[in-house]
């Protein structure tokens, strides 16, 4: 017997086996949904982030992992929030980003991460109610010790975080 007479059969068998493997893989993948894409409808009362994440954990079986010493979730307060049929990533972004907390999903668990703060260079002119530039006005980021003072023409320039509040005095 020659090998060449089995070649068409082997080629068909090989193609069939490949199709079966790829179709089985896509069926298995279709059965898994991304945790961050699940739809959420929830009302969160005024409180802290720890209570909000606990409500998601118990109501929607979402698993969270974080270092409690790094993220003091009971300190970060939130206002009343209502979410209606939105993806979990929308809820988490709304809750966590204002507190400087990021997140990622690994094997069905949401892992809280530190979100890098973006630095900006802010500049401007401080004027009085008549429009005259003011010299020597202190400009600082709220909650920080550093800052700058305006020049003779009222101009200032300051490196600050994107979500900072400036204080003029």
pLDDT confidence tier of residue 13, bands split at 50, 70 and 90: low
**Helix extents (H) in 32-103:** 49-60, 88-96
Same domain assignment for residues 96 and 159: no
Q: Which among 113, 116, 112, 98 is positioned nearest to 165, based on CA atoms? A: 98
Same domain assignment for residues 68 and 102: yes
What are the tens digits of pLDDT across the range 106-121? 888 999 988 776 778 8
Instruction: Provide the pLDDT for residue 35.
Output: 84
pLDDT confidence tier of residue 166, bands split at 50, 70 and 90: confident
**Helix extents (H) in the chain:** 7-31, 49-60, 88-96
The answer to whether 167 touches 145, Cβ cutoff 8 Å, is: no
Domain interval for residue 160: 119-168
Instruction: Provide the pLDDT for residue 153.
Output: 92
For residue 27, being part of any structural domain is answered with no
Same domain assignment for residues 87 and 157: no
Last residue of a domain, one of 114, 130, 160: 114
Determine phi and psi for 51, rounding to 5 degrees: -65, -40
Cross-strand bridge partners of residue 167:
140
Same domain assignment for residues 109 and 44: yes
């Amino acid at each position: 017997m020659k090998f060449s007479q089995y070649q068409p059969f082997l080629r068909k068998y090989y193609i069939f086996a490949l199709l079966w493997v790829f179709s089985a893989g896509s069926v298995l993948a279709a059965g898994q949904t991304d945790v961050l894409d699940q739809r959420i409808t929830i009302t969160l009362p005024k409180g802290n982030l720890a209570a909000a994440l606990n409500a998601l954990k118990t109501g929607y079986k979402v698993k969270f992992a974080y270092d409690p010493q790094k993220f003091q979730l009971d300190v970060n307060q939130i206002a009343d929030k209502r979410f209606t049929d939105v993806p979990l990533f929308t809820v988490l972004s709304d809750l966590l980003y204002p507190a400087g907390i990021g997140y990622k999903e690994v094997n069905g668990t949401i892992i809280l991460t530190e979100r890098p703060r973006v630095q900006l260079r802010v500049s401007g002119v401080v004027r009085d109610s008549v429009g005259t530039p003011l010299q020597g006005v202190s400009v600082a980021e709220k909650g920080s010790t550093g800052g700058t003072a305006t020049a003779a023409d009222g101009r200032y320039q300051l490196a600050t975080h994107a979500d900072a509040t400036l204080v003029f005095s």
